[in-house]
Amino acid sequence: MQAIWSSLSALNASNEWMSRIGNNIANQSTPGYASQTGSFADTLTSAVSGNATAPSVASRYTPQGWNGGTGVMATSTGNNFSQMSLKQTGNPTDLAIQGSAFFQVAGHNGQTEYTKAGNFIWSRQPSGRYALSTTDGKPVLDTQGQAILQPAAPGSTMNVSSDGQVTFTTGNGQTVGGPKIALVHIANPGQSLSSAGNNTYTASAGASPRLVNGQALGNGANGQLAAGQSRIKQGSLAMSNVNLTTAMVNMLQAQHMFDLNSKAVGFSSQMMQIAATIR
């Protein structure tokens, strides 16, 4: 009976693994998508602590202290927020972050959320003004925690500097000052952020979000970003960091694991049927 339970737990684990991989593959072209990760571990083990006895057949006995596993289970899930490749779009409301920071947005329930997806739009607010928002209408926040509103002047175009400072050029060529888009650092984002849908995330108590674009910007070695610094690149998007080749290989492994354990369940069932007929 234990063989069936062990195989069933492995079936559930491989099914969850395939679901995660499938989600990654489906979102390989989604802006700001962080690939899902996870790990597995043994379920409760049973310890055989009785004294070892002399084998009736050489090398065929269980030694003292041997632990027998009872299956496998998923122990943790998270996201991989490693640097994403940038894709130039030319759209002034498309913003990409170079570095580890996140955009800060206002969730529909009033809770602050975080995202790498910079495919923003102008969304009409109850006041009649338009706010820079995610595609599902969550306003992007500035360093003061306020929405970034489009000027009342018609035909205004948004300009964003590398440190997030916003200015607008009106239809008659005048420049109007604006706020600074918040760039926020999250501690251990792979484990401290939970999905809120549409590539936005809520932070746990250990996330310790802090603004980072109050720092002076500069280059590190070989033209790379200095430690802890992030920049905004307007007219570009941070794309998904899913590696399709790796995902396909993992999918084959997960499918193979599922098939093997499915057969193991069948074999165990046959053995139980045979045992039931022994008199």
Q: What is the DSSP string of 7-41?
A: HHHHHHHHHHHHHHHHHHHHTTTSTTPPEEEEEEE
- In this structure, are residues 156 and 193 in contact, taking their beta carbons and an 8 Å threshold? no
Strand-pair partners of 72: 42
How high is the pLDDT of residue 222?
44
Residue 6 has a pLDDT of 74
3-state secondary structure of 216: coil
pLDDT at 1: 59
- Dihedral through CA 16, CA 17, CA 23, CA 26, nearest 10? -130
Single-letter residue type at 69: G
Tens of each residue's pLDDT in the chain, 279 residues: 566 667 777 777 877 888 889 989 999 999 999 998 876 666 655 555 555 555 555 555 555 555 666 677 666 678 899 889 999 999 999 999 999 999 999 999 989 999 999 999 999 998 889 999 999 999 999 999 999 999 877 778 999 999 999 999 988 888 999 999 999 999 999 889 999 989 999 998 878 898 887 644 444 444 444 555 889 999 999 999 999 998 899 889 888 887 887 777 777 777 777 777 876
Would you kindly state where each structural domain of the chain is located, as residue ranges? 2-50+65-78+251-277, 86-238
